[in-house]
Amino acid sequence: MSCHTLILRFIADGRSIHTQRRAKYFAQKGHEIHPITYDPTNCVITRVAEQILASRWKNLYLTFIPHHLAIKRLVKKIKPDLIHAHFIAKYGFHLPDLRFSPSIVSAWGD
């Protein structure tokens, strides 16, 4: 059986333990991990190329369009095998307009 290295793109909160655990797990399995986050992980994860979308505004409504355009560019550049968005209200809303398949979203929170 051959092993294929996947290129995985996470769109998620880097501070979340859910994001960090998934990134570490798939990186340890030899896959290429490219998280996009508004908030940095603040820890080093081997084989993980985190991309932080900084903004001078803290309001999600003001930053959504600039962040979304940046995410579209990053997805085009990396061409991942799969996109996994975490937290519907903050990161999952980016998926529909990306028109990327396969993509999944995980609903975390309360």
Q: And the tokens for 31? A: 């896959």
Whether 77 is in a domain gets the answer: yes
Q: What is the mean pLDDT of the chain?
A: 89
CATH number of residue 52's parent domain:
3.40.50.2000
For residue 55, tell me if it sits in a domain: yes
CA 3 to chain centre: 23
2: in domain: no
Distance CA 88, CA 25 (A): 22
- The torsion angles phi and psi of 86, rounded to 5 degrees, stand at -115, 145
Q: Is 68 exposed, middle or buried (0-12, 13-18, 19+ CB in 10 A)?
A: middle
Asked whether the beta carbons of 24 and 47 are under 8 A apart, the reply is: no
Q: What is the pLDDT of residues 37-72, one digit of tens each?
A: 998 888 888 889 899 998 888 888 899 999 999 999
